[in-house]
Amino acid sequence: MTYTKYLTFCTKEKKQFVNITRTCQEIVDESGIREGFMLVSAMHITAGIWVNDNEYGILNDAMEFLEELAPTNKDYRHHNTGEVNGHAHLKNLLMHHQVILPITKGQLDFGPWQTVFYAEFDGQRNKRVIFKIIGE
């Protein structure tokens, strides 16, 4: 069995984490799938998906860390196209654009602090995420 859903995110900030854990569980519930894998994958190439702790300091540390490694205000080759979001493609590279969430007995099978975040690096516009479940 498979189940597919798409959601659109438009963040208030250019760079922002959005906690989508409850959304993921709701999609599992809708699907009726009790055992399997859920792929959560950004369909745009300037966003990521991250599983970590829902702690304010960590989220800020992570965004600052990515900003230090791939600064927003740097002159990337990509900007020759007229775009100004070269940094967001490199942040995507570091964070990765997808995760697989295990589903066991109809629940996201998480450790005590695991939280799923949509990580926006070039927001304030509509961007889609695919949630696809395979299982039984």
CB of 12 to its own copies, least distance (A): 21
DSSP-assigned letter for residue 118: E
Choices 8-16, 22-30, 38-46; region in contact with its own copies by CB under 8 A: 38-46
| Residue 61 CB neighbour total at 10 angstroms | 11
Applying CB under 8 A, which of residues 21, 84, 89, 106 lies at the interface with its own copies? 89
Applying CB under 8 A, which of residues 7, 18, 45, 84 lies at the interface with its own copies? 45
Of 26, 27, 35, 25, give the one whose Cα is nearest residue 1: 35
Binding of its own copies by 113 (CB under 8 A)? yes
Binding of its own copies by 79 (CB under 8 A)? yes
Give the pair of three-digit tokens for residue 55.
């702690």
R_g of the chain computed on alpha carbons: 16
Give the pair of three-digit tokens for residue 8.
């659109």
| Residues 7 and 130: beta-carbon distance below 8 Å | no
Q: In the chain, what's the furthest Cα-to-Cα distance?
A: 50
Binding of its own copies by 23 (CB under 8 A)? no
CB of 26 to its own copies, least distance (A): 19
Q: Which residues bind its own copies (CB under 8 A)?
A: 1-2, 4, 35-37, 39, 41-45, 50-53, 55-58, 60-62, 64-66, 69-70, 76-81, 86, 89-90, 92-100, 102, 104, 109-114, 128, 130, 132, 134-136
